[in-house]
């Protein structure tokens, strides 16, 4: 399961919010946070996922079934966390996903609906949660840590197999939003950082996982650890670090947890 035993206690006494925390990367992070001593509220879209997450996370966590693209969700989640835990100390926004089925794709094939959906799902939802968190921190004169999930595709494209320009634009914009906020709120001790994964084995990446040609490419594009697709728990220790007091002097940074994606060529099969 999780590989974060070395972080035990790093989050003792912290109360954290994970938006998109009932499956995949978010759930792995929430598990690591609980193991590191935190109280955690996880927000997820599906009731079944929320129920399953609650069972896995135990009594240090509570779940909320809600849509991250609804502007009321993050304030509601913060209120619920404060009601149960007394405060919040950090936010990790993971929620997002592919808009390929809605019309996202290469620019010449991109539909207006695909563009709008990609931005709403991957960028606007982050603005909503980050805004709610920073308002709460400022109102209560508390520092805190905000962590956003982007993607290596935001700055290191892979046009042959992953050409969804709306998704890439949104993930790049997350970095801009995060760094802008990091600069603005540093004097209030509110930190903003980004995790940027490569290809990770989650429900969103099923298309790629089921394509032998793409997986051959990923084997060379993510050469670490034998050349493999990422696992959700590969990012968990980094999330614990950036939400803990171990990273008190870190803000405005983009940490790629990508198996080497951003420094490797990646080899295409020739036919």
List residues with catalytic annotation. 167
Beta bridge pairs of residue 200: 230
User: Could you identify the residue written with the tokens 């991957």?
Assistant: 122
Name 249's Cβ contacts closer than 8 Å, sequence gap at least 6: none
- β-pairing, 144-149 vs 90-93, is parallel
Count the helices and strands in the chain (H runs, E runs): 9, 7
| Calpha distance 65→50 (Å, rounded) | 6
| Calpha distance 249→178 (Å, rounded) | 16
Q: Report the alpha-carbon angle 104-108-113, nearest 5.
A: 35
For residue 131, the 8-state DSSP code is H
Compute how many other C-beta atoms are within 10 angstroms of the C-beta atom of residue 200: 23
């Amino acid at each position: 399961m999780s590989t974060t035993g070395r972080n035990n206690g790093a989050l003792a006494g912290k109360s954290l919010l994970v938006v998109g925390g009932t499956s995949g990367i978010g759930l792995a992070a929430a598990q690591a946070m609980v193991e590191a001593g935190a109280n955690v509220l996880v927000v997820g879209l599906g009731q079944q996922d929320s129920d399953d997450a609650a069972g896995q996370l135990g009594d240090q966590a509570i779940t909320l079934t809600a849509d991250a693209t609804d502007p009321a969700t993050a304030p509601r989640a913060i209120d619920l966390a404060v009601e149960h835990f007394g405060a919040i100390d950090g936010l990790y926004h993971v929620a997002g996903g592919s808009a390929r089925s809605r019309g996202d794709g290469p620019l010449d094939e991109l539909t207006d609906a695909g563009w709008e959906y990609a931005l709403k799902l991957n960028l606007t939802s982050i603005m909503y949660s980050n805004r709610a968190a920073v308002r709460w921190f400022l109102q209560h004169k508390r520092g805190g840590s905000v962590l956003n999930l982007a993607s290596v595709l935001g700055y290191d494209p892979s046009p042959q197999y992953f050409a969804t320009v709306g998704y890439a634009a949104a993930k790049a914009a997350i970095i801009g939003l995060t760094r802008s906020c990091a600069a603005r709120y540093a004097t209030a001790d509110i930190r903003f950082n980004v995790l940027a994964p490569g290809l990770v084995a989650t429900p969103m990446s099923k298309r790629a996982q089921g394509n032998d040609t793409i997986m051959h490419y990923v084997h060379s594009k993510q050469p670490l650890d034998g050349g493999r697709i990422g696992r959700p728990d590969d990012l968990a220790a980094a999330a614990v670090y950036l939400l803990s007091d171990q990273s008190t002097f870190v803000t405005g940074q983009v940490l790629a947890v990508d198996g080497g994606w951003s420094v490797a060529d990646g080899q295409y099969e020739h036919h």
